[in-house]
Amino acid sequence: MRASSEPPSTCMRVKAPVDTIFTSHQRLPSIQNDDKFYLQYDSSHSLTEQLLKMTILRNIDESSEARLFVRVLVVVLGVAILVPYLYFRAEGKGINRVPLPPTPPGNFITGNLSEVLAAVSKNQQHLLFNEWAQQYGEIVRVRSGPFVQYFINSDKAVKEIFDRNSAFTSQRPRWIASNEQICNGMNLLLLDGDHPRWKHQRKVTHNYLTSVPRADAGLPFLHFESAKFLHRVASEADITAMSGWKLYRSILRYTYSMFASQTFGLDIPEDDDQVIADIHETGLAQILQTLPGANLVDPLPILDKLPLVLKPWERRNRKRFTRDMDFVKEKLNRIRQLRARGVTSDAFLPLIEAENKGSEFGAGIDEAAYLSLMLVIGAADTSAVSTWSFMEAMLMFPTVQTKARRLITQMIGDRIPTYEDIDRIPYVRCLMKETWRWRPPVALGHPHITTRDLIYNEMRIPAGSQIHLNAYAVQHDPTRHPNPDQFFPERFENDLTTTMQSINAKDVRDRDHFAFGAGRRICPGYHVAERSLAVAIMRILWAFEIVPSSDARMPLDPLAFEGGMMPGIADKRMPVCFKLVSEQRREHINVAFEQAVSERRSMEPLVVEETGQGAFERLGFVNYDEH
């Protein structure tokens, strides 16, 4: 039951060189004109789809690389045929008599590729893998041509494979294009779990950003930015006109600015600041290059041994890294200049620089600056997605919204809520748990690699296999959560555990959700995420009613506007808007924001220059009402 405003069907070709996307040396310096992006802009498609098209069109446009692509494609097709043949031949010889997990029936050569591609085209792969989980059980083996993936679909299997065997399931696939070239081996998300750099970055992230004390130290940033968001919306002449993309863009500014403040000690003051789009595109490009088929060098690593002159993809990728590093070094220099003037900040990078901890990084303080950018990328979008998913739930289940607002108002009254109120309103914690259960931000998990054969429930996962924690399937298992598609916070009414307490539950059946992963690679930022979502829920419900926008088609259909950055997440087409609970609330919001401004220490913006309109549009971020 969900409706959507249909985007216009117009489609236009836009030549968008990279140097028009990144224009400021204080933002992300441009990639030079020898490598250009040509973007087929279609407002009916998601940003992910458009950037993927951009990558494909770029490759086709470069004639020299296209010739190499055709030659190598023949080799890839040969591998696609040979690997399944050798694979099944080896299995038939009984190399290991413990059977592999079940697999859906598919083509001998391509396996389940056609079903997977069909689901991906509709951004519904989470539904396909959930269907297979219910049909084939706790572990499902999916083969797409030469690529084999194992999806872990039950809480017991997750506990055994990711937690108890974490020493053998904490590696990443080798991503040459993304990890080694675009990120130069410095991205915490992409590094192997036994890599010294990964261990050090995790430790520093915990000590300076994500531990309980540091998460609490970030509350002033969170309270200020969320108050600014409420004030921004409440100041609209017609609040209901701020719907869909306009509303999501304001949420993005709030989450990006909050984490830029916590990491760099610099904020993002305006909704249309291009730096949001720049950072978002940077993170998306890294993720896209980890997908099967996104490049040739990952499936054929022998290509990495070619001379650099024959590797245009590597030249382009390393220009990206240089651009990103120049961006963060400029921020580091400004932090040093501010400190020289006696201006300090209780934020991640300023603290590391002030305490001379940069030398402990393998690449020095510059690596700490780069890590700061990666932390913003990892946290800001996830927090925005969680807030957006909560709003989707309130839109779809208005009786839950009414109950939640009543309970919050009873306890809070006319003052603006703060994080400290969460213990007084247990239902808010239930809302948080149910939001992450109902719409996990990363529904299928980031892939891990096994380093030895694993046996679970008389099934074998071979060493070197790619495994996924299928959070969506675990959390939509009707035997674990009855009526899983229903947003029902009351299912957690007897569970007041924090995220950390639930993760450490002795019985995995008592764990609330798996939105943050499991094992050694569990998301280190769950304390910060917990505070972010709690404040968003309390403040939005206290101030506004969440209602369908004027262009919503009733009854609402969830599949009509799913297609966000990750599977199962509503995108900017969601027909949602706010209505003030009362005019008195507007006055309370204005007073609270004025007080927050007066109490806040002044902060420089992340980018020190004005940025005009159009930054989002150049990357495919579109306000459908204007096109």
Q: Please, which contacts does 343-351 make with residues 24 or more away whose CB atoms are closer than 8 Å?
A: 345/265, 345/603, 346/217, 346/265, 347/261, 347/262, 347/263, 347/264, 347/265, 348/208, 348/209, 348/262, 348/263, 348/264, 348/372, 348/375, 349/263, 349/264, 349/265, 350/264, 350/265, 351/208
Residue pLDDT, tens place only, 122-142:
889 999 999 999 999 999 999
Alpha helices in 95-149 (DSSP H): 113-121, 125-136
Please indicate, yes or no, if residue 615 is contained in any of the structural domains.
yes
Residue pLDDT, tens place only, 385-408:
999 999 999 999 999 999 999 999
Please indicate, yes or no, if residue 91 is contained in any of the structural domains.
no
pLDDT of residue 601: 87
Residue 273 and residue 621 in contact, taking contact as beta carbons nearer than 8 Å: no
Q: Is the pLDDT of residue 54 over 80?
A: no
Residue pLDDT, tens place only, 344-369:
899 999 999 999 999 999 999 999 99
Q: Which domain holds residue 555?
A: 11-61+165-442+476-626
SS (H, E, C) 72-88: HHHHHHHHHHHHHHHHH
Please indicate, yes or no, if residue 502 is contained in any of the structural domains.
yes
Please indicate, yes or no, if residue 394 is contained in any of the structural domains.
yes
Please indicate, yes or no, if residue 145 is contained in any of the structural domains.
no
User: Of all residues in the chain, what percent carry a pLDDT higher than 70?
Assistant: 81
Strand partners, 38: 15
- Give just the sign of the alpha carbon dihedral 611, 612, 618, 622: positive
Residue pLDDT, tens place only, 429-466:
999 999 999 999 999 999 999 999 999 999 999 999 99
Give the number of residues written for the chain: 627
Domain count, the chain: 1
Please indicate, yes or no, if residue 462 is contained in any of the structural domains.
no
**Residue 425: C-alpha distances to residues 409, 468, 592 (Å):** 10, 35, 21
pLDDT of residue 69: 52
User: Of all residues in the chain, what percent carry a pLDDT higher than 90?
Assistant: 71
183 marked among binding-site residues: no
Residue pLDDT, tens place only, 287-311:
989 987 788 899 899 999 999 999 9
Please indicate, yes or no, if residue 230 is contained in any of the structural domains.
yes
Residue pLDDT, tens place only, 76-119:
556 555 655 555 554 544 446 899 999 999 999 999 999 999 99
pLDDT of residue 96: 63
Please indicate, yes or no, if residue 115 is contained in any of the structural domains.
no
Residues 6+ apart with CB under 8 A from 68: 310
pLDDT of residue 552: 86
CATH number assigned to the domain comprising residue 315:
1.10.630.10
Distance of CA 351 to the CA centre of its chain: 26
Residue pLDDT, tens place only, 464-481:
999 999 999 999 999 999
